[in-house]
Structure 1
Amino acid sequence: MYDALTVGQRVRERRRALGLTVGELGQRIDRAASQISVIEHGRRDLRLAEIDRIARALDTTSEDLLREDSPSPRAEREIRLERAQRSPLYASLGLPTVPVRASLSNAAIDAILGLHAELERLHTERAATPEQARRANAALRGDMRARGNYYPEIEAVARELLSALGHDSGPLSQRLTGELARHLGFTLHTDAEMPAGALSITDLEGGRIFVPVTRSAATDPRTLILQALASRALGHTPPRDYAEFLRQRVEANYLTGALLIPEADAVPRIQAAKAAHELSVEDLRDAFGVGYETAAHRFTNLITRHTQIPVHFLRTHESGVLVKAYENDGAVLPRDVLGAVEGQSVCRWWSARRVFLSDDQISPYAQYTDKPSGTFWCTSHIRVSERGRFSLSLGTRFEFAKWFRGRDTTRRYTSRCPDPACCKTPPESLRTRWENRTFPAARVPDTLLHALPTGVFPGVDETDVYAFLETRTNTPLTPE
């Protein structure tokens, strides 16, 4: 494999150094001058035997012609210009190409390249739509499903960090979280004036991590700190696109969960619970002092890997809209034509929605649901946040329910979704009574007309972040 443009530039540079014309080089290798010009402009892929012939004709070696670096700064400019003019973006503009001649100044090439880079930036920014984000998220969810939501390389990082702290079992305390920050070279600071959109800010130069002052009892201060530390431990660099931003977020969240609920301590508990037919998210939550959602996510990381039990997880708003989901048990999730599940409506007969109708919303809720893809058992828990109520649901196929606490539930419903007659189409009696006799005012989602946030870190204003750090750098701070 080689780059035809770079090889062509090296042929031209060497030919000119020898004082040869394209015709004279053509005579040496029995080729027309026009063919030499095509080669020098990188418009033809050469066989290795042809490269050998050209190298001999130019008194050099094939290895020299095949070097990857550009032969000179001027050649680098010409290569970049050729690549720009051959790009799909340039072709879509309908502009004529600019011949790359010796008379074309460096300043002119730089101007063209600068304009093309700006067009490419604007085009990419315009293309970063919710559609792109949904495609990226669907692809990421596919990768998670393929690996059973288990990342051995991140588990190894967690083990190394926990070992450095001397922590081998039980919950990771606030004190040990601070010790981990110091181990990684950071001090921790709380600040009430954090820029909007930033969950935390890491000052790489000063070795400081800023987190907001949390007033909600539901917010675990360890989580924000560990997420910031996880990005440093995993060597994350500013993401190049939205897909990489999503991947980094998943990795940071995964490492955070692996630190709060260490694999070495959690797996024996899970295996013992399976042997006793008492698997539950609640026990994992209580043993490690974390929230239900963190425990449920960690459960999906470890359960398939260590017990071969496939599962699914849903986070559903009380309106029935699916916010987050994962499955490797064959549960058919609602999805759009892009393969995205976020924003889709969950069947009203699934436990994710039936739980909101339960009289007892404190005790664990469980039910069986007969679906077109089979019968599934599921347990759901309600979480209240500033954005409303959400159900957190974890389930598995019928044949694996025997290992879970709550398997003896007598609740059982039938879902025919995605058949519209299941729950999307009103019953005939209601439709006949009210069709064309009502006109509800729809609550338009705030994000309906919003563009996807731009920037390296979507939704975070870099100016605000830099200004925040500048004021904190000039003001003495007391580490928290």
Structure 2
Amino acid sequence: MDGLVLGRRIRYYRKERGLTLEALSERTGLLPSRLSLIENGKREPKLSVLQQLADAFEVDLTEMLSGTPPDERSRLEIDVERAQRSPAYEALGLPHLASVKTLPDEVLTVLRGLHRELDRRVIESTATPEEARRANTELRLTMRERNNAMPEIDAAADQLLSRVDHTRGALSHHHVAEMAKHLGFTLIYVDDLPGSTRSITDLENGRIYLPPASIPGGHGLRAMALQAMAHRVLGHRRPTDYADFLRQRLEINYFAASCLMPLDRSVAFLQDAKDRRDMAVEDFRDAFGVTHEAAALRMTNLLTEHLGISLHMLRVDGDGAISRVYENDGLPLPVDVTGSIEGQFLCRKFSARQAFANRNRTTETYQYTDTPAGTFWCSTQTGTTAQETFSITIGVPFDEARWFRGRNTKARAVSTCPDDEQCCRAPEAAQAERWTNRVWPSARVHARTFSPLPTGDFPGVDQREVFEFLERHDAGSREEA
């Protein structure tokens, strides 16, 4: 529960009933000073205290715990107080307003507008491709230090899962809907979501809007719903900058994976496979009813932290560019001047690119690759969407391959990338001699090279379309009622 919103709702009920802090104290037995701290969002009350207050106001507890401010004045006060706690404001070194409740509405409106413009300019000034790559690199390095594990999020997922009767097999849509209900949400599937969104959460009315299933079973919708719920479970606030936005995205993806592939059951499954020396991404994927990529990513959360296996995971586009990466096993990968790996081209000799040449893409491709940093074993699966072809790779150092299916492969390659251009980037000498200065190819430049980073309260989201969508569906709900 947001302490500022809760405090303003309590103050609203108190004043609406004409009560002073002292009068409310007499009704509840709570000290006026304690009540003041609660109203100012500086003290988190226990559930028993909240029930006492609800009884004193003669309102239902769930109504008092609504996550929206009780009126526009309260919303203004909350926005200004919250803005004063932002890193952008603190960086200015300006004093904090001790109290905003005595300021006129017009002053609060101006202050809120100034804070929003300050935040917008801060985000705009940092929303460059270089800053995004730096932020992404810092996040990746931080996660590598943690073995890509977030035990606090695993615990939060387990706690929510305990509210539904889910003990084995894949997490069903019914279970996901029950989890949403426990958090006060209803899942609604619509076919008119704005193109810039994957889901929309209506906090005021407790609705999570999702697209209709595009394939039978609609397994991807479970992850979307869980990601939307994660923002509430993890206590996220509006992103303060692009780095904060990336961190939140990582956390909600981790939370969804923790729900779909619960910690204890996942570790037990992988430990059993390791004991049998038959670990495989495809088995892990099928056991929990998730995508190959989701299973591979979840293995990065678990193998090092719980089974002591270092590894790497790669998603590579059909043109050879790395779009997603995690590694803590020393695999040599290309980096740019910011330290970013994403967007760089992987060596042609790695299985992540060799697999594209395979005609049979229903089975995994296994390969050993000798590199300047040692020999690595990899397992690669390719996939195709309407927009792209890609590969998903899980790999480990040579000594760790003994735990995996496919370790007996005879396929082997030698890569001297990324430092040696002669490995796969430089043309052969005879070809270079024949064609240098005799050809002028027209390069195909990726649109993403020039695309500005998305900005706004929620980067990449068209806010006008979102608000129009909410107005449309809110009106429809009122008509049905």
TM-score, normalized by the shorter chain, greater than 0.5: yes
Instruction: Specify the alignment match of 1:401 in structure 2.
Output: 401
Instruction: Specify the alignment match of 2:150 in structure 1.
Output: 151
Q: Distance in 1 between matches of 2:118 and 2:222?
A: 42
Instruction: Specify the alignment match of 1:258 in structure 2.
Output: 258
1:346 aligns with 2:350: no
Instruction: Specify the alignment match of 1:97 in structure 2.
Output: none
Instruction: Specify the alignment match of 1:366 in structure 2.
Output: 366
1:112 deviates by 12
Q: Secondary structure at the match of 2:379?
A: strand
Paired amino acid for 1:176: H
Q: Distance in 2 between matches of 1:473 and 1:257?
A: 31
After superposition, give the CA deviation of every residue in 1:5-33 in whole Å (9 maximum; x if it has no partner): xxxxxxxxxxxxxxxxxxxxxxxxxxxxx
Q: Secondary structure at the match of 1:475?
A: helix
Aligned partners of 1:241 and 1:456 also within 8 Å: no
Q: Secondary structure at the match of 1:313?
A: strand
1:408 deviates by 0.3
Instruction: Specify the alignment match of 1:426 in structure 2.
Output: 427
Paired amino acid for 2:274: K
Q: Distance in 2 between matches of 1:187 and 1:115?
A: 35
Paired amino acid for 1:462: Q
1:473 deviates by 0.6
Q: Distance in 1 between matches of 2:118 and 2:182?
A: 44
Instruction: Specify the alignment match of 1:202 in structure 2.
Output: 201
Instruction: Specify the alignment match of 1:460 in structure 2.
Output: 461
1:383 deviates by 1.3
1:349 deviates by 0.5
Instruction: Specify the alignment match of 2:249 in structure 1.
Output: 249
Q: Distance in 2 between matches of 1:346 and 1:264?
A: 34
1:471 deviates by 1.1
Q: Distance in 2 between matches of 1:113 and 1:219?
A: 41
Q: Secondary structure at the match of 1:466?
A: helix
* Identical-pair percentage: 46
Aligned partners of 2:123 and 2:455 also within 8 Å: no
Q: Secondary structure at the match of 1:447?
A: helix
After superposition, give the CA deviation of every residue in 1:45-93 in whole Å (9 maximum; x if it has no partner): xxxxxxxxxxxxxxxxxxxxxxxxxxxxxxxxxx9xxx99x969xxxxx
Q: Distance in 1 between matches of 2:171 and 2:110?
A: 55
1:169 deviates by 2.3
Task: Give the total of aligned pairs.
Answer: 381
Aligned partners of 1:316 and 1:323 also within 8 Å: yes
Instruction: Specify the alignment match of 1:122 in structure 2.
Output: 121
Structure 1 residues 231 and 138: alpha-carbon distance in aligned structure 2, compared to 1, 3 A threshold: same
Paired amino acid for 1:333: L
Structure 1 residues 216 and 336: alpha-carbon distance in aligned structure 2, compared to 1, 3 A threshold: farther
Q: Distance in 2 between matches of 1:115 and 1:203?
A: 26
Aligned partners of 2:123 and 2:241 also within 8 Å: no
Q: Distance in 2 between matches of 1:477 and 1:133?
A: 42
Instruction: Specify the alignment match of 1:215 in structure 2.
Output: 214
Q: Secondary structure at the match of 1:420?
A: coil
Aligned partners of 1:154 and 1:254 also within 8 Å: yes
Aligned partners of 1:162 and 1:168 also within 8 Å: no
Q: Distance in 1 between matches of 2:143 and 2:114?
A: 39
Paired amino acid for 2:126: A
Aligned partners of 1:189 and 1:478 also within 8 Å: no
Q: How does 1:261-300 map to 2 (within 5 A)?
A: 261-300=261-300
Q: How does 1:1-80 map to 2 (within 5 A)?
A: none
CA RMSD for the aligned pairs? 2.9
Structure 1 residues 113 and 265: alpha-carbon distance in aligned structure 2, compared to 1, 3 A threshold: closer
Q: Distance in 2 between matches of 1:188 and 1:306?
A: 34
Q: Distance in 2 between matches of 1:325 and 1:367?
A: 18
1:127 deviates by 3.1
1:316 deviates by 0.2
Paired amino acid for 1:240: T
Aligned partners of 1:169 and 1:262 also within 8 Å: no
Instruction: Specify the alignment match of 2:439 in structure 1.
Output: 438
Q: Distance in 2 between matches of 1:228 and 1:432?
A: 57
Paired amino acid for 1:204: L
Structure 1 residues 477 and 387: alpha-carbon distance in aligned structure 2, compared to 1, 3 A threshold: farther
1:288 deviates by 0.9
After superposition, give the CA deviation of every residue in 1:340-388 in whole Å (9 maximum; x if it has no partner): 1111000000111011112332211110000111100000000111221
State the TM-score, normalizing by the size of structure 2: 0.74
Q: Secondary structure at the match of 1:431?
A: helix
After superposition, give the CA deviation of every residue in 1:121-163 in whole Å (9 maximum; x if it has no partner): 4364133101111000000000110011111000101111111
Q: Secondary structure at the match of 1:376?
A: strand
Q: Distance in 2 between matches of 1:113 and 1:185?
A: 29
Q: Secondary structure at the match of 1:316?
A: strand
Structure 1 residues 401 and 478: alpha-carbon distance in aligned structure 2, compared to 1, 3 A threshold: farther
Q: Distance in 2 between matches of 1:157 and 1:115?
A: 36
State the TM-score, normalizing by the size of structure 1: 0.74
Q: Distance in 2 between matches of 1:221 and 1:477?
A: 26
Aligned partners of 1:317 and 1:388 also within 8 Å: yes
1:267 deviates by 1.1
Aligned partners of 2:239 and 2:245 also within 8 Å: yes
Q: Distance in 1 between matches of 2:117 and 2:295?
A: 45
Aligned partners of 2:147 and 2:304 also within 8 Å: yes
Q: Secondary structure at the match of 1:476?
A: helix
After superposition, give the CA deviation of every residue in 1:426-472 in whole Å (9 maximum; x if it has no partner): 11122122222222222221122221111121110112111110111
Aligned partners of 1:374 and 1:397 also within 8 Å: yes
Structure of higher CA gyration radius: 1
Paired amino acid for 2:235: G
Paired amino acid for 2:190: D
Aligned partners of 1:202 and 1:228 also within 8 Å: yes
Instruction: Specify the alignment match of 2:54 in structure 1.
Output: none
1:405 deviates by 0.4
Q: Secondary structure at the match of 1:226?
A: helix
